[in-house]
Structure 1
Amino acid sequence: MTLLFDPQSPVLAPTSDGHDFPVRRIFCIGRNYADHAKEMGVEVDREAPFYFTKWAETVVPSGPIAYPTMTGNYHYEAELVVAIGKGGRDIPVGKAVDHIYGYATGLDMTRRDLQLDARAKGRPWDAGKNVEQSSPLGTLHPISETGELSTGAIRLTVNGEVKQQADLADLIHPVSELIAFLSRAYRLEPGDLIYTGTPAGVGAVVPGDEIIVSIDGLTDTKVMITPVAHD
């Protein structure tokens, strides 16, 4: 048997200790900071996490990313990203940290106009969220290097101006709870990434803008928005 075409190469994220982390799946948590939920015009939901998924191929390193097609309102969302290093199902909250490989800064870039249109019609958010180059990811730092991250400043700047600023302690659903919740719906596997939510202050960018995401103890994610790609 021969393949009709070459399969896609795995997406590899660099780590601070010189390894490559193969990305398997992306789970993105929505409305996980109260002030962001309010600015999006929805009620804060403390009952259970809300999430959507993205393709692994949306992950890209720091560098240029193209402004996507079909939008005139492309938004940044700064995120703490958790990388799963040990699989499991029905993981207890108290054991969740044992399944963490490490952490990184990241961005969940969003075609906001398409997302809001889908939300208003009760449709999935794929067109707004699952977009090429929409999940920039900084260097992954093993938990053995950082310790468990439950507090610390998270900040995003656009062209040097602070747009988002909060503390990881403000997460409505903390990391261990997110891991436990997702593991009830799916068996989590090594290579899975959890984008844990974004603080208030989201907004639009245009080609030429530079975005920097910083979290205490982690490497920054830095991207430059370039003109729309038509290839």
Structure 2
Amino acid sequence: MHIVRLQGTSKTYRVGKVLCLARNYSEHIRELGNEVPEKAVFFIKPATSLIGNGEQIVIPAYSSDCHHEVELAVLISKFGKNIPAAEAMTHVAGYGVALDMTLRDVQSQLKAKGLPWEIAKGFDTSCPLSDFVPTAKIPDPHSLAISLSVNGELRQDSTTEFMMRRIPEIIEEVSTIFSLEEGDIILTGTPAGVGPVRSGDRLCAAIKGVGTLEVSVQ
């Protein structure tokens, strides 16, 4: 069981499912040679994939090419199904910093065979996650600087304004497929600049106004 905290309050949330949006930044789509999807593409990470600030990522033995992807995380505050975009933000408790660690070699092999690629995305320790700041402290989540450094070298440097789908639209779409519950988390996609990490690397992810997340690779 993984618990996240809402900063400045006594409120905690037991994380349920982690719903991840793929291909939401055009430059990232281009760098991987993917097509722009007509509809939102979602996948799930289990709660067992979560680790906190200061913990370690463990790359599975079945991969030799693990990549970092920094993302804005959205914490869901209450139950909802088929949520209209106009009401979506009332279901958001706060925002956090997340990493979507991806076994790129495994993902590529599975995609080429038309097979699901959860084992490339949902392995243990694949989702480092910060605590969350309340929505009231972030007037516009679509204008935040987002970055990631590895061993002090800047790898990803962008802003959330480049998200192709905004948070209300994401919540509307995902809630037509999955009921959203208190403690669920949505990852909103990563900007360009993804790349490999190796044993001993130290990662620092940051989103302006939201916070930082520092982890290492075992």
For the superposition of Structure 1 and Structure 2, which TM-score range results when normalised by the shorter chain?
Answer: over 0.9
Query: Aligned AA for 1:86?
Result: K
Residues 68-125 of structure 1 deviation map (CA, whole Å, 9 limit, x = unaligned): 2211101100000001002111111111110001000010001111001001110001
Q: Equivalent residue for 1:55? A: 46
Question: What is the count of residue pairs matched by the alignment?
Answer: 216
2:7 is matched with which residue? 16
Question: In 1, are the aligned partners of 2:58 and 2:125 still within 8 Å (CA)?
Answer: yes
> Aligned partners of 2:76 and 2:131: how far apart in 1?
14
Question: Is residue 2:165 matched to residue 1:181?
Answer: no
CA shift for structure 1 position 53: 0.6
The 4+ residue runs of structure 1 with deviation greater than 3 A are none
Alpha-carbon distance in 1 for matches of 2:142, 2:200: 34
* C-alpha contact 1:79 1:196 (8 A) present in aligned 2: yes
Aligned twin of 1:229: none
CA RMSD after TM alignment: 1.1
Q: Which residue of 1 aligns with 2:190?
A: 198
TM-score where L is the length of structure 2 = 0.95
Aligned to 2:141: 149
Deviation at 1:54, TM superposition (A): 1.0
- Measured against aligned partners, the alpha-carbon deviations of 1:10-35 in whole angstroms (never above 9, x if no partner) come to 21113312432210101111011001
Larger Rg: 1
| Within-5 A mapping of 1:62-211 | 62-63=53-54, 64-211=56-203
Letter in 2 for 1:11: H
Question: Separation in 2 of the partners of 1:157 and 1:180?
Answer: 32
Q: Which runs of 5+ in 2 are unaligned?
A: none
Gaps of at least 5 residues in structure 1 are 1-9, 227-231
**Secondary structure of the corresponding residue to residue 115 of structure 1:** helix
What do the CA deviations read for 1:145-170 (whole angstroms, capped 9, x no partner)? 22341111111111111111111010
Q: TM-score, normalised by structure 1?
A: 0.90
Identity value in percent: 36
> Which amino acid in structure 2 is aligned with residue 160 of structure 1?
G
Q: What amino acid is the match of 1:51?
A: F
In the other structure, the counterpart of 2:35 is: 43
Letter in 2 for 1:13: V
